């Protein structure tokens, strides 16, 4: 198996082994997430020695583990799993079949963002007629969450930077800019029923004040969540069952828009991360294996 080494070069390591309910894949497309939450998440969690980065990928089925009946060898699929995506082979416990109308690049860009968006919306239990305040509305998770909420009749107030104001409007949300006076600008738009922090930018104090308490405030990555009594939503297999099926179907039907993205060869993974960390890149970067 090939993986990306810390030096930026590819190296050979042992292929992963399958357990019950897991699939093995030859990974055709991979992606480092450009979002700040993903980068903070990696920095906050100690990595095992020789860890292979990458939370998600898309590829073809190479083998199936014991008890797997929902897919077969040779089947084409999009994946969501823990670390291990920057490689030729990876093991997945959550997956969905990739429709022919969905490109490999889009399939690789979808899994973790869709699962997080669906999962937190379910945890918040936002309903038609309610107002959702969404921090990070221009990010990969925020874009998907906005569309899923709007189609369900939820009013979305999307907190974004200048670069994403037009995008938020196009998705059906009301944009509000980050910066001094943010809470006042949100209050001018009406009461907030729930808050989804998809940015993790230290916004929890404002979030709690605007939602009248922490009960319906959820963050994806703010390490101060416990200090504020806010739920830190963790990526677990039971957070959003069926999320990939739901999102992939919408994507295939042209009813779901993803964050803009570009591709680079996996051999350039180190350069991709340098570009993302510079803060000047406004697209996701999909790493590809030919």
What pLDDT is attached to residue 19? 62
Exposed, middle or buried: residue 235 (CB in 10 Å: 0-12, 13-18, 19+)? middle
Start-to-end C-alpha separation, the chain: 14
Cα dihedral: 183, 259, 37, 236 (round 10): 110
Instruction: Return the residue matching tokens 């504020």.
Output: 228
Helix axes 243-252, 111-124, angle to 10 degrees: 120
What pLDDT is attached to residue 15? 67
Q: DSSP string covering 59-76, please?
A: EEEEEE-TT--S--TT-E
How far apart (Å, rounded) are the C-alpha atoms in residues 236 and 119?
A: 9
Mean pLDDT of the chain: 84
pLDDT tens-place string over residues 213-230: 999 999 999 999 999 999
pLDDT tens-place string over residues 95-135: 888 899 999 899 989 999 999 999 999 999 999 999 999 99
Q: DSSP string covering 74-140, please?
A: T-EEEEE-SS--SBSEEEESEEEEPPTTS-HHHHHHSHHHHHHHHHHHHHHT--TT-EEEEETTTSH
Q: 186 falls in which pLDDT band (50, 70, 90)? A: very high
Q: 94 falls in which pLDDT band (50, 70, 90)? A: confident
How far apart (Å, rounded) are the C-alpha atoms in residues 41 and 44?
A: 5
pLDDT tens-place string over residues 227-286: 999 999 998 888 999 999 999 999 999 999 999 999 999 889 889 889 988 878 888 899
Whether residue 34 is predicted with pLDDT greater than 50 in this model: the reply is no
R_g (Cα) of the chain, nearest Å: 19
What pLDDT is attached to residue 36? 46
How far apart (Å, rounded) are the C-alpha atoms in residues 20 and 40?
A: 31
Whether residue 35 is predicted with pLDDT greater than 50 in this model: the reply is no
Write out the two tokens for 180.
Answer: 């001094």
């Amino acid at each position: 198996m090939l993986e990306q080494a810390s030096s930026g070069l590819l190296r050979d390591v042992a292929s992963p082994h399958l357990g019950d309910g897991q699939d093995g894949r030859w990974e055709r497309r991979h992606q480092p997430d450009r979002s700040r939450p993903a980068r903070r998440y990696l920095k906050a969690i100690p990595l095992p020695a020789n860890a292979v980065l990458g939370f998600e990928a898309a590829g073809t089925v190479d083998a199936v583990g014991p008890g797997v009946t929902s897919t077969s060898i040779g089947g084409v699929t999009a994946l969501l799993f823990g670390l291990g995506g920057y490689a030729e082979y990876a093991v997945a416990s959550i997956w969905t079949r990739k429709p022919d109308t969905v490109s490999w690049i889009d399939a690789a860009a979808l899994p973790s963002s869709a699962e997080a968006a669906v999962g937190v919306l379910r945890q918040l239990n936002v309903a038609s007629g309610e107002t959702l305040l969404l921090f990070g509305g221009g990010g990969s998770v925020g874009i998907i969450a906005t569309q899923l909420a709007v189609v369900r009749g939820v009013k979305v107030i999307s907190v974004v930077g200048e670069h994403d104001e037009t995008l938020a409007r196009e998705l059906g949300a009301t944009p509000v800019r980050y910066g001094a006076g943010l809470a006042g600008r949100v209050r001018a738009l009406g009461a907030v029923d729930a808050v989804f922090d998809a940015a993790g930018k230290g916004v929890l104090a404002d979030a709690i004040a605007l939602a009248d308490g922490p009960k319906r405030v959820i963050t994806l990555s703010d390490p101060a969540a416990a200090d504020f009594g806010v739920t830190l939503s963790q990526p677990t297999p039971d957070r959003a069952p069926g999320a990939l099926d739901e999102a992939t179907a919408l994507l295939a039907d042209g009813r779901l828009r993803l964050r803009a993205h570009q591709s680079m060869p996996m051999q350039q993974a180190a350069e991709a991360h340098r570009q993302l960390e510079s803060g000047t890149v406004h697209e996701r970067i999909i790493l590809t294996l030919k």
